[in-house]
Structure 1
Amino acid sequence: MATTPERGRTRAASGFRAGYDVYSGDGNPTDNKHQTFAPLLNTPRIYARTPFFAEANSRDLFVQAIVRPDKKTTLRADLHRVTLDKAADRWYAAGGPFLSARSFGLIGRTNPSGGTALADMIDVSADRVLDKRTSASVYVGHLLGNTVVKGIYPDSKGFFAYGEINYKL
């Protein structure tokens, strides 16, 4: 904890980070051998809270700022530039594990564009601890689809928002 001398109050640590994640793709997607890395229990919410891409066949260049104005509040903003690992790769999206006759929460789309640029995204969130058992979160994510997304969805803008209250028994 850091103390702000002018007010004498305690603040939680804040931070900034940048990164580049690479999730390998299949070297030959036409040989009927699936060799793409796919996470067993995928969840996008840890790294990018809008579930439009998975940790498969992708590269994620990002910057993130976290501000904690007090012990109970966390403000977070992320910028992401997401691309496919290779132009021949499929675009995989995941929203977490769920049972389906055809998937386990991981959906793959063929890339019709021949490019690698998937989307640019901004995430903004606020989390607040209300008491020992209760917390609240508000989130907004906005993405602008690039070459790959535009090849599938001509209107390539996305918006995702939610609010949640968590209560621990």
Structure 2
Amino acid sequence: MENDLIAIFKELDKWIEDMNEQSLTEGFNFNPNCSITILGQMGLLVDEEIAIQLNPVATVDLDAWVKSESSITQELKSLLSKNGLILDELSNEIWLPEEYEVEDFYISDRITCLKVKPLYLLVSKAIKAKEKNRILVKEAIGIFKEELVDMIIKYGGDPSYFING
């Protein structure tokens, strides 16, 4: 999944570059900058180590915070669609712990794409969608141990729901 998304971002990058060149020659205003933060299940799937350890269920939804001109977002949606994926329109509603951390995923002159570290995605799943993610979070506690348990407690969750379930 990681390579598929990188290929999509490379294609988007080329499209932005072409649009930027066109805007310069035709004199229209175009902001070629794009910021994407990968969230949710896709964030787990594109983390190779976690994807192997937890084997999260595949998804066609790309949960992501996207900051860009609307034309860039539309092109991203089009590229995702061509690859059997969709940009989840409710991504802006996703909650993350306040101290969440990110890692570089795809960086160019035009695109900054980051992925949220798995620990924080799992805390989000444990707090906001515990029923749906019970098995996943239980397995993740086996990997992250006290760090995940402590964060679940910090944000009002009950780790025993996952450990004893």
Q: Which has the higher helix share?
A: 2
- Which has the higher Rg, Structure 1 or Structure 2? 1
TM-score class normalised by the smaller sequence: under 0.3
TM-score using structure 1 length: 0.23
Q: Which has the higher strand share?
A: 1
